[in-house]
Structure 1
Amino acid sequence: MSSHSVTHSNPVKYNHPTSQPNGLGTPIVLTIAGSDSGGGAGIQADIKAISATGGFACSAITAITSQNTLGVAAIFPIPLDHVKSQLDAVFSDIKITAVKIGMLADSSIINTVADTLRQYRPKFIVLDPVMIATSGDLLLQESAINTLKQTLFPLVDIITPNLPEAAALTGLPRPTNEDEMLAMVPALRALGASCILLKGGHLDDQEESLDLLITATTVERLSAPRIHTKNTHGTGCTLSSAMASYLAQGYSLLDAVHLAKSYISQAIKHADQLHIGQGHGPVNHFFALHQDGSTQ
């Protein structure tokens, strides 16, 4: 057993917020990510999640993917000058409060994004280190992993790796249980990000969906009932985008993580109401439109 001190909480007790905590202006979120032609992940999922949770979404596309619920057929990185021009266009005109970063494809794009974030200094940055799609397809060149760690991790408020991504980042074996997740904590802290949400969704044999919220001194255990469905395409994009949306609305990082965990749990719970494709379908981002708006 791990010697880490772990606190426990149940994120699904949070209700969907109906107002911003600090009476702020329009909560604007910029998502920097790849496009998913199937509509279930990437920029498309980000815009849906930000909108559904109360934010306004802007976007800068880093790559165009040819994909559907069965997998990724091709990836076309956007030319660097156009990635930069998208970012400049948005930042120079629109007051961006939070940034969500997803697929970055290669080292050149990572460096361009990092330079631009240093230039404009948005208040919050959430990084989903997208490396491997739900289908197993590689979405980040292996040579770019070190660039990601060295240039972007020191700039962000939180990273949100799943278990395969955490293994790729640390060089450790992919955890197969909670104890192995806890054993990975020191290596994750050493990556340089100020906060890490280690997502345990790949532990399919467990009856709970377990994440670990890791800071420099604490580990908090976030648990929700596991929903058994094949429709989980875009869960990581959706979770990190919801987190950025809540941060833009004035919630603390801890509350934003809890609210995002609650939102994604409900989006997965209602995923089977949709019938999209023949493989791993998307989560139901707008489940609340057909209910009373509560995530309970």
Structure 2
Amino acid sequence: MTEFPQVLTIAGTDSGGGAGIMADLKTMQARHVFGTAVVVAVTAQNTIGVQDFMALPAKLINEQFRSIASDFTIKACKTGMLADAEHVHVVAEALQKYDFGPLTVDPVMIAKGGAPLLADNAIETVRKELIPLATVVTPNLPEAERLTGLAIKDANDMVTAGVALQKLGAKNVIIKGGHVTDPQAAADFVLLADGSSFWLSAPRTETIRTHGTGDTLSACLTAELAKGVPMATAIQTAKAYVTAAIQATIQVGHGHGPLNHWATPSDEVSRHDN
């Protein structure tokens, strides 16, 4: 019988299938690990936007954690949409109770269409209770600004924010540079636990089909860590996978369409050490 590493996503659903737990499970399957899920919130969502969402009761979330822990051997896990301060706290408590391996924190705050997915009063809870548990944290620029209180306008600001996030307790940091207005490349800053750092860049693809990009990157990273891949290599694979999933676009929906989760990692990602 073939055994595969088992991984866990702790997030919200996307009824449109392109982001959240749906994107996580598709990515995990593509990367040859077995995905499980703790559903924190349910959204009514498509490629055009988020029409509604509801966070689940804390009791049901805790029961999901208990069910997973009692039956599966989770090698790595990740968080995504956590809704509000109460639910961030519930998840942080559970992650301290159960050993689910390396934790990737994707601090999801706003959907691609602009809808808020994390209450303003939850930012401090993420900062104080969740970030210190993170093996790696993967914010985009707006999320990094909210978490650090710093304005990020250029590469130097990304480095400063990375150091600030590490001081909050995250062991490793990836600051995704997709929001920087460089028409040629999308560059991410990586700061590792040992203090070393590097940049990963890939050609920018002009497309509106980028729904679920952050979820996909963090899910791929989680899958690679579950396999025992070293952090720096896992991060580079995740960047290469997302790059290919954007480049090999598929036509789904009428708005910000989803990525192509069938894609194989691109060889167009380059690494530049500091």
- TM-score class normalised by the smaller sequence: over 0.9
Contiguous gaps of at least 5 residues in structure 1: 1-23, 289-293
**Distance in structure 2 (CA, Å) of the matches to 1:84 and 1:185:** 32
Who is 1:18 aligned against? Answer: none
From 125, 132, 156, give the equivalent of 2:110. Answer: 132
**Distance in structure 2 (CA, Å) of the matches to 1:28 and 1:82:** 22
- The count of aligned residue pairs is 265
1:126-159, Cα deviation, whole Å (9 max, x unpaired): 1100011111211101101111111111112000
The SS at the match of 1:126 is strand
Sequence identity percentage: 42
Deviation at 1:197, TM superposition (A): 0.3
Who is 1:284 aligned against? Answer: 260
1:42-66, Cα deviation, whole Å (9 max, x unpaired): 0000000111111110011100111
The SS at the match of 1:278 is coil
Aligned letter for 2:223? S
Deviation at 1:211, TM superposition (A): 0.3
From 184, 192, 209, give the equivalent of 2:169. Answer: 192
Who is 1:212 aligned against? Answer: 189
Contiguous gaps of at least 5 residues in structure 2: 268-274
> For residues 237 and 27 of structure 1, do their structure 2 counterparts lie closer, same or farther at Cα, with a shift above 3 Å needed?
same
**Distance in structure 2 (CA, Å) of the matches to 1:252 and 1:123:** 14
User: Does 1:255 pair with 2:233?
Assistant: yes
The alignment's TM-score, normalised by the length of structure 1, stands at: 0.86
Aligned letter for 2:19? A
**Distance in structure 2 (CA, Å) of the matches to 1:87 and 1:35:** 16
Higher relative contact order (CA 8 A, sep 6+): 1
Who is 1:43 aligned against? Answer: 21
Cα RMSD of the aligned pairs, angstroms, is 1.5
Please list, as runs of the form range in 1=range in 2, the aligned pairs for 1:75-224 lying within 5 A after superposition: 75-173=53-151, 175-215=152-192, 217-224=195-202
Deviation at 1:118, TM superposition (A): 1.3
User: Does 1:238 pair with 2:196?
Assistant: no
Who is 1:20 aligned against? Answer: none
The SS at the match of 1:36 is coil
**Distance in structure 2 (CA, Å) of the matches to 1:116 and 1:31:** 13
Aligned letter for 2:254? Q
Q: Is the 8 A contact 2:241 2:263 kept in 1?
A: no
